[in-house]
């Protein structure tokens, strides 16, 4: 079959969903009994759950697609291929170790630099979303779509990791003005606000401090749900992406981008 035919992507998506569910079962067991926490060189936490989940995902992806490359949060990159799996086995480790259910398993596939499928499995929260290029977005088997919100005064905005945004006073002030104009402001964070965006429960997500493993799968899901997903400058997600501007409609995305970039 062609390299990225619908049939191939459907098969790859099935494998990714199976890997995410297997990792989620392992993570849920560790969450229930508690684990010791180590601090990595970048001052972020890691646990045995992170490592075992990634190993499980790597095994299942490697068995199905032995010629594909994998880039994982804990084990780095292995293999050389035009197909690259992006794996964050336990996105939200800080929540995990503090007993909050806002963590997930993120698996995406990139082909020649284009994100073509994604799975976001939040085992304790109780949601799984997935999408593949041209196939729509799904929540636990039900197709979902973003809201049709076009005006800021009607929009719900969710803010995630935005520490670096505070370093630019003019841009920070622009965000403040935006907050005053939208209908509501929340801070769901991690996978949660992207799930809510994709199923029409909120309208805008802004983050300035992410990495591609955090958001690759979610980018595919939001786009296949009909939304717009770029970085804060409006660029397509790449391996170097560190920020997000995601919106339900082109009108909202354009207006928020204009306001933040004019500062």
pLDDT tens column, 113-126: 999 999 999 999 99
- Report yes or no on 140 lying in a domain: no
The answer on 123 and 163 residing in a single domain is: no
CA gap 214, 216 in Å, rounded = 6
Domain count, the chain: 2
pLDDT at 11: 97
pLDDT at 1: 43
Quote the domain boundaries for residue 171: 152-261
Q: Identify the sign of the CA torsion 213, 214, 219, 221.
A: positive
pLDDT tens column, 47-64: 888 899 999 999 999 999
Residue where a domain terminates, one of 89, 110, 135: 135
Residue 29: give its domain's CATH number. 3.30.540.10
Residue 239: give its domain's CATH number. 3.40.190.80
The answer on 172 and 89 residing in a single domain is: no
Average pLDDT over the chain, rounded to an integer: 94
- Report yes or no on 204 lying in a domain: yes
Reference 75, options 61, 62, 92, 87; nearest CA is 87
Residue where a domain terminates, one of 102, 135, 168: 135
- Report yes or no on 141 lying in a domain: no
- Report yes or no on 70 lying in a domain: yes
Residue where a domain terminates, one of 83, 100, 135: 135
pLDDT tens column, 144-164: 999 999 999 999 999 999 999
Residues forming a β-bridge with 127: 122
Q: Over 60: is that where the pLDDT of 263 sits?
A: no
Residue with tokens 């490359």: 69
CA gap 101, 28 in Å, rounded = 10
User: Which of 11-20, 139-148, 184-193, 248-257 has the least mean pLDDT?
Assistant: 184-193
The answer on 201 and 122 residing in a single domain is: no
Reference 69, options 86, 91, 90; nearest CA is 86
The answer on 251 and 163 residing in a single domain is: yes
């Amino acid at each position: 079959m062609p390299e990225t035919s619908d049939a191939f992507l459907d098969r790859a998506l099935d494998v990714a969903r199976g890997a995410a569910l297997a990792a989620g079962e392992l993570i849920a067991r560790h969450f229930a009994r508690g684990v010791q926490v180590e601090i990595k060189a970048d001052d972020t936490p890691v646990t045995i759950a992170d490592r075992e989940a990634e190993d499980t995902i790597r095994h299942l992806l490697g068995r199905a697609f032995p010629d594909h490359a994998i880039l994982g949060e804990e084990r780095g990159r292995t293999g050389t291929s035009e197909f690259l799996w992006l794996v964050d086995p336990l996105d939200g480790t800080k929540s995990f170790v503090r007993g909050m259910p806002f963590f997930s398993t993120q698996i995406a596939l990139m082909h020649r630099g284009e994100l073509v499928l994604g799975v976001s499995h939040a085992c304790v929260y109780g949601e799984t979303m997935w999408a593949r290029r041209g196939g729509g977005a799904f929540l636990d088997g039900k197709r979902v779509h973003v809201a049709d919100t076009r005006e800021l005064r009607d929009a719900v905005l969710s803010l995630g990791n935005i520490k670096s945004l505070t370093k630019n006073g003019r841009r920070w002030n622009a965000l403040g003005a935006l907050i005053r104009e939208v209908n509501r402001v929340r801070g769901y964070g991690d996978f949660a606000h992207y799930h809510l965006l994709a199923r029409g429960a909120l309208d805008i997500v802004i983050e300035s401090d992410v990495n591609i493993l955090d958001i690759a799968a979610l980018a595919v899901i939001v786009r296949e749900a009909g939304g717009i997903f770029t970085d804060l400058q409006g660029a397509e997600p790449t391996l170097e992406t560190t920020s997000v501007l995601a919106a339900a409609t082109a009108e909202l995305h354009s207006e928020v981008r204009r306001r933040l970039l004019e500062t």
